[in-house]
Amino acid sequence: MTHYSPQMGTQTQDKVEDTALEAVNLHIHYGSFLAVKDVNLKIARNQITSFIGPSGCGKSTLLRCFNRLNDLIESFHIKGQVYHDNQDLYSRHVDPVLVRRRIGMVFQKPNPFPKSIYDNVAYGPRINGFKGNLDELVEQSLRQAALWDEVKDKLKQGGAALSGGQQQRLCIARTIAVQPEVILMDEPCAALDPISTLKVEELMNELKKQYTIVIVTHNMQQASRVSDKTAFFNVEATDKGKVGYLVEYDDTVNIFTNPRETYTRDYIAGRFG
């Protein structure tokens, strides 16, 4: 495997600066089953992009394509291309471990390691050979995750002892600590109460100053509150099962107030989903 260098490529510099992630004619398969078809999507740098749509439309499947987590499923394969900063992430020369270092992931259910708060954040830098001041990095990451003031006096305590919302922010701090360029979030607030949800949403708005964020959410109010752009996916029945596809992608304000497609308008209005 060669080193993953996201600045490689032949497209224009303007495009590299504006677009962090891109799917081109992307079809996602599990064995012979087509799960998601023909996605073309450009995700802007330092913005929050939401994926919305009914269950089974492929939102999370597509999200995991951007850091190659689907590779862990034996039958998974794609047709088309997925780019990060113009580097084809599925090139045979690209190491998926390096992809996941640059493109971090926060999951639906908070999953702190069975370690101290400090060691949760320090784990990634340690295994990646971080040579700097680890104490400073842990503090910086916890501050970025808006958690430092709540945990600075109990860094040796277990991460599992925190509240659900604090655990999720700890997982965000753990992701930040390896200094990624993109943060993927799969239903990050689904298991949280409204107050914790608000804190995570406020955190996302701060983090987009430094990171590109892509979020899958079933909560349309959340998508309308936090995201700059929104992609609406739907699902259609075929002889071989249900296939997800991208219906519409636009600025969030347009998706929620003036969608171009009837399916989008009906979904936003609650007529199906």
Q: What is the pLDDT of residue 2?
A: 43
Number of Cα atoms under 13 Å in the Cβ half of residue 84: 28
| CA-based max dimension of the chain | 58
- The verdict on pTM exceeding 0.85 is yes
Q: What is the pLDDT of residue 135?
A: 96
Q: What is the pLDDT of residue 273?
A: 65
Q: Which fold has domain 13-268?
A: Rossmann fold (3.40.50)
Q: What is the pLDDT of residue 64?
A: 96
Q: What is the pLDDT of residue 141?
A: 96
The per-residue DSSP string of 87-113 comes to EETTSTTB-HHHHHHHEEEE-SS----
Domains of the chain, by residue range, sit at: 13-268
In tens digits, what is the pLDDT along the chain, a chain of 273 residues? 444 554 433 333 344 448 999 999 999 999 999 999 999 999 999 999 999 999 999 999 999 999 999 999 999 999 999 999 989 999 999 999 999 999 999 999 999 999 999 999 999 999 988 999 999 999 999 999 999 999 999 999 999 999 999 999 999 999 999 999 999 999 999 989 999 999 999 999 999 999 999 999 999 999 999 999 999 999 998 888 899 999 999 999 999 999 999 999 999 998 876
- For 132, residues 6+ apart whose C-beta sits below 8 A from its C-beta are none
Q: What is the pLDDT of residue 73?
A: 94
Tally the residues of the chain. 273
